[in-house]
Amino acid sequence: MNKISLIIQREYLTRIRKKSFIIMSVLGPLIFAAYILIPMYFATLEDKEVKTLAVIDESKLFTEYGPNGPVFVLPGTKTLKFQVVEGVPIETFRDTFEESDYYGVLFIPSNILASETSLIYSTKQVSLEVSEYLERSMDTEIEHLKLEQQNIADIEKILSEVKTSINVRNIKWTKDGKTQESNTGVVMGVGYLGGMMVFFFIFFFGSQVMRGVIEEKVSRIIEVIVSSVKPFQLMMGKIIGVGLTGLTQFLIWMALSFMLVTGLKAAFFPELNRTPTEQVISSDLFEKGTSGQDQLQGSTQTEPDDTSDVVQEIFGSLKTINAGVMIGSFLFYFIFGYLLYAAMFAVIGSAVDNETDTQQLIFPVILPLILGIYVMISAINNPDNGLSFWFSIIPFTSPVVMMVRIPFGVPWWQMALSGSLLVATFLGMTWVAGKVYRTGILMYGKKNSYKEIWKWLRYSS
Amino acid sequence: MNIITASEVVKDFSGHRALNHVSLEVPDGSIYGLLGPNGAGKTTLLRIINQITAPDEGSILFNGSPIGQAHRSMIGYLPEERGLYKKMKVGEQALYLAQLKGLSRQEAMKRLKIWFHKFEIEAWWNKKVEELSKGMAQKVQFITTVLHEPRLLIFDEPFSGFDPINVNLLKREIIQMKENGATIIFSTHNMASVEELCDHITLINESETVLQGEIAEIRERYRANKYQVTFSGSDERLVSGLDPRFELLGLEENGMGRRAIIRIKSEDSGSGDLIRNLVEITEIKSFQEIIPGMNDIFIQVVNDTVKKKGADHE
């Protein structure tokens, strides 16, 4: 044991002292934070630009005449305004458009009811947001008009009574009888992030084990080392030492990311700190429903229309995921997934004489990992179907696939089955790897093939 | 007492037999030479003694008991293919390797200071191995091999890659270690160093032991009854006057005069008979038996086994 700990120490210390480790430790969270915060930042930027559309309404269906002249019937939004223009031909707009402040010109032809088409003229591509808003609200307006043409009495009243907006909100029952609201998208995001991180760590640090083995083989120090310790001790020491490096990097990333996100959140979204996210969660249907019909209607109005609300909802939903289970299972699947794959990477390292030779051998090893990523992407949408279930049980893909299922909630027996299979496979794989490794590290100039590896497996120690 | 007793060791590698029932006994306190052409199986045997690989058949005893984990720290091994971690600093690396052999950090540090001083390499302590020349790295590796003062030292081609000055330095250290009670096994092609250092040898060829024993005894065994005579006088008298029991193998000029190589053919004649014959026909300046060198014995034995194998095949 003392010798293993010496090996672990060397592997760990030489790696964390490397410049690349320090650079990655600092840059990692910056990239991570940028990945989360830059879209948020852009979302807030977009809000500020107000777009004004000039409207030429030849159908006159969308124009009302008030005391201040003609007014467009569609209300517009915070960022989209309308200005009805009469008596100016479209050609005039084309010639002077560059000088005007208009975002575009909305042309509603007189036969809109029949053609169901209107046009937007602009010098640039009109944003999806604007065109979708126009299509949606003009649909509603024309449907409204057509209904009125049916000459039904009290049509206005009937319409307003019929108007419904169903908002599907996901309320989770927890074991202690509480209810929690969560946003499926956020839960998916957390699962996806967890799965990707497990994949990335296995791949990155598994390759480091492989490179470490090759380094010892190429530099020929291997023969001296295995005259002092058993090959298995050397292999395990290396795998554990590199794994600890990975965990250290992960912890540094988490700590730095937390500080960064907290800091930037305070700088860019101060309103989040004024309104505790708990308010969003507590406003669920069960509490409101008891106090009557009025509040049921009130609670349907919480559709977020503001960036800060979106952010608030994200952070609120994050709270519904059991952080303890998530972090605990992340560490479990990271550690054992890594150990399983690191043993295979060590075998490849022992079988080749230099790094370029690894390419043909590495494919069968990373294939299940990549398969895991594909299944994971499908499992995000169907966390409980057969495919997701089996791939989260099979040890070679379970570390990646199970990570996306956990935020949605996984029965304990599946966790136990998947976990114990993973541990058992790791033990078996390590035993096999040890046998191949101790032969491979002393072999030079052999063909790199699985046939050769199979031969080594059957050698006596 | 033998420090290493190998009995009937067999090792196969996928169809190829690297060692075929090889046995040897290394007496405690000796310098033991393991000889043989390239690919004969020397390195495999050394790896088995080092517990890097295990034999398929046969056994290895260390000091009378089956070799095991506890013996690792009692052996120092310098493999033929030298190597150190290139990116690691010299001092740190030497400390690490010493600790793997069971020395405490403090003790390793103390001894390393002495050795670095002795080899005049103190300035390298904080250099990375990749900054050292090949010879420098070899010195460092030699130190790490002997630092834990093992009872048994195994050197695979220890002198290859060293300049003559450093070869002498190493030889002195090896003799010193023998005097301090260590046993040394070394494998080499360099027969001059075998004659100079070894007490015993085993010659392995094509996975089998072909010659084994004490150096003096082996050389005695391979005496060919050849004598070198330096004489003054005419060649014709020597050639015509030589008794038929003796055979003239060659005549040549050397710095001191004419030199003849003569073999005694008949079993019942000795060197006295040859001298008596020579006195009558020429004037002897010097007379010396030619004792075969290990180099000649090596070549002769290896060629003989190759011929024998060839004959077996036919």
Do residue A460 and residue B56 have CB atoms under 8 angstroms apart?
yes
Residues of B whose CB is below 8 A from A459: 13
Q: Does any domain span residue B53?
A: yes
Q: Which residues of B17-34 are buried (b: 16+ CB within 10 A; e: fewer)?
A: ebbbebebbbeebbbbbb
Question: For B230-267, how does the pLDDT look when each residue is reduced to its tens digit (9 = 90+)?
Answer: 888 778 888 888 888 888 888 887 766 788 888 888 77
- B206, with CB counted inside 10 A (0-12, 13-18, 19+), is middle
pTM of the full predicted structure?
0.73
Do residue A460 and residue B86 have CB atoms under 8 angstroms apart?
no
Amino acid at A287: E
Residue B255 CA from chain centroid, whole number: 32
Which pLDDT score, from 0 to 100, does residue A280 have?
44
Cβ count near A227 (within 10 Å):
23
Q: Which residues pair with B2 in a beta bridge?
A: B27
Alpha carbon distance B251, B253 (integer Å): 7
Q: Give yes or no for B168 touching A (CB within 8 A).
A: no
Do residue A223 and residue B75 have CB atoms under 8 angstroms apart?
no
Which domain-ending residue is among B196, B220, B244? B220
Which domain-ending residue is among B198, B220, B242? B220
My answer on whether B270 and B135 are in the same domain is: no
Q: Give yes or no for B84 touching A (CB within 8 A).
A: yes
Q: Give yes or no for A5 touching B (CB within 8 A).
A: no
Do residue A221 and residue B84 have CB atoms under 8 angstroms apart?
yes
Which pLDDT score, from 0 to 100, does residue A133 have?
85
At B252, is the secondary structure helix, strand, or coil? strand
Alpha carbon distance A144, B64 (integer Å): 104
Query: Which CATH homologous superfamily contains domain A50-160?
Result: Periplasmic binding protein-like II (3.40.190.10)
What is the β-pairing status of strands B283-289 and B226-232?
antiparallel
Residues of A whose CB is below 8 A from B47: 223, 442
B262 CB contacts (<8 Å, ≥6 apart)?
Answer: B226, B227, B229, B242, B246, B247, B248, B249, B274
Which pLDDT score, from 0 to 100, does residue B252 have?
81
Percent of chain B at pLDDT exceeding 70: 98
Which pLDDT score, from 0 to 100, does residue A148 have?
78
Q: Does any domain span residue B176?
A: yes
Closest CA to B82 of B129, B118, B114: B129
Q: In this structure, are residues B80 and B156 in contact, taking their beta carbons and an 8 Å threshold? A: yes
Q: Give yes or no for A10 touching B (CB within 8 A).
A: yes
Q: With a cut of 50, which residues of chain A have pLDDT below it?
A: 273-305
Q: What are phi and psi of A441, to 5 degrees?
A: -65, -20
Alpha carbon distance A63, B39 (integer Å): 99
Retrieve residue B165's tokens. 């000055």
My answer on whether B167 and B260 are in the same domain is: no
Alpha carbon distance A352, A445 (integer Å): 8
Q: How far is A427 from chain B (nearest CA, A)?
A: 23
Q: In this structure, are residues A53 and A133 in contact, taking their beta carbons and an 8 Å threshold? A: no
Residues of B whose CB is below 8 A from A460: 54, 56
Domain regions of chain A by residue span:
2-41+176-457, 50-160
- The enclosing domain of B257 has a CATH number of 3.30.70.260
Q: Give yes or no for A222 touching B (CB within 8 A).
A: yes
Closest CA to B133 of B156, B166, B109: B166
Which domain-ending residue is among B202, B220, B238? B220
Do residue B83 and residue A442 have CB atoms under 8 angstroms apart?
no
My answer on whether B140 and B259 are in the same domain is: no
When divided into structural domains, chain B yields a total of 2
Which pLDDT score, from 0 to 100, does residue A338 have?
93
My answer on whether B215 and B228 are in the same domain is: no
Q: In this structure, are residues B140 and B129 in contact, taking their beta carbons and an 8 Å threshold? A: yes
Q: How far is B116 from chain A (nearest CA, A)?
A: 20
My answer on whether B38 and B100 are in the same domain is: yes
Q: Give yes or no for A293 touching B (CB within 8 A).
A: no
Q: Give yes or no for B86 touching A (CB within 8 A).
A: yes
What is the β-pairing status of strands B152-156 and B75-78?
parallel
Percent of chain B at pLDDT exceeding 90: 38
Alpha carbon distance A63, A84 (integer Å): 8
Q: In this structure, are residues A52 and A77 in contact, taking their beta carbons and an 8 Å threshold? A: no
Which residues form the domain of B20? 2-220
**Out of A220, A229, A461, closest to residue B82 by CB:** A220
Nearest CA in chain B to A452: B14
Q: In this structure, are residues B159 and B142 in contact, taking their beta carbons and an 8 Å threshold? A: no
Q: Give yes or no for B114 touching A (CB within 8 A).
A: no
Do residue B69 and residue A230 have CB atoms under 8 angstroms apart?
yes
Q: In this structure, are residues B70 and B25 in contact, taking their beta carbons and an 8 Å threshold? A: no
**Out of A3, A226, A455, closest to residue B52 by CB:** A226
Q: In this structure, are residues B46 and B187 in contact, taking their beta carbons and an 8 Å threshold? A: yes
Note the ipTM here: 0.81
My answer on whether B260 and B174 are in the same domain is: no
Do residue A3 and residue B100 have CB atoms under 8 angstroms apart?
yes
Q: Give yes or no for B271 touching A (CB within 8 A).
A: no
Which pLDDT score, from 0 to 100, does residue B16 have?
84
Alpha carbon distance A319, A279 (integer Å): 12
Closest CA to B31 of B131, B144, B178, B167: B178
Q: Give yes or no for B236 touching A (CB within 8 A).
A: no
Q: How far is B14 from chain A (nearest CA, A)?
A: 8
- Binned at pLDDT 50, 70 and 90, residue B10 comes out as very high
Do residue A442 and residue B52 have CB atoms under 8 angstroms apart?
yes
Q: Give yes or no for A13 touching B (CB within 8 A).
A: no
Q: Does any domain span residue B310?
A: no
Q: Give yes or no for A446 touching B (CB within 8 A).
A: no
Which strand (E) or helix (H) includes residue A77?
A: none
Q: What are phi and psi of A19, to 5 degrees?
A: -60, -40
My answer on whether B128 and B257 are in the same domain is: no
My answer on whether B131 and B244 are in the same domain is: no
Q: Does any domain span residue B307?
A: no
What is the β-pairing status of strands B31-35 and B16-27?
unpaired
Alpha carbon distance B308, B127 (integer Å): 53
Do residue A224 and residue B53 have CB atoms under 8 angstroms apart?
no
Q: Which residues pair with A258 in a beta bridge?
A: none
My answer on whether B205 and B257 are in the same domain is: no
Mean per-residue pLDDT for B138-158?
A: 92
Residue A170 CA from chain centroid, whole number: 19
Which pLDDT score, from 0 to 100, does residue A296 have?
40
Q: What is the DSSP string of A390-447?
A: HHHHSTTTHHHHHHHHGGG---HHHHHHHHHHHHHHHHHHHHHHHHHHHHHTT--S--
Find the angle CA(B269)-CA(B272)-CA(B274) to the nearest 5 degrees.
70
Sign of CA dihedral B291, B296, B302, B303: negative
Alpha carbon distance A280, A310 (integer Å): 11
Sign of CA dihedral B287, B291, B293, B296: positive
Alpha carbon distance A248, A251 (integer Å): 5
Do residue B79 and residue A10 have CB atoms under 8 angstroms apart?
no
My answer on whether B204 and B231 are in the same domain is: no
Which pLDDT score, from 0 to 100, does residue A317 have?
65
Amino acid at B310: G
My answer on whether B154 and B248 are in the same domain is: no
Residues of B whose CB is below 8 A from A14: 85, 87-88
Do residue B75 and residue A230 have CB atoms under 8 angstroms apart?
no
Question: For B49-104, how does the pLDDT look when each residue is reduced to its tens digit (9 = 90+)?
Answer: 999 888 889 999 999 999 988 899 999 999 988 889 988 999 999 999 999 999 99
- The enclosing domain of B164 has a CATH number of 3.40.50.300
Computed over every residue of chain B, the mean pLDDT equals 88
My answer on whether B146 and B180 are in the same domain is: yes
Q: How far is B24 from chain A (nearest CA, A)?
A: 20
Q: Does any domain span residue B303?
A: no
Q: Give yes or no for B105 touching A (CB within 8 A).
A: no
Q: What are phi and psi of A291, to 5 degrees?
A: -95, 10
Q: What are phi and psi of B119, to 5 degrees?
A: -90, 5
Alpha carbon distance A357, A141 (integer Å): 68
Residues of B whose CB is below 8 A from A215: 85-86
**Out of A3, A219, A460, closest to residue B83 by CB:** A219
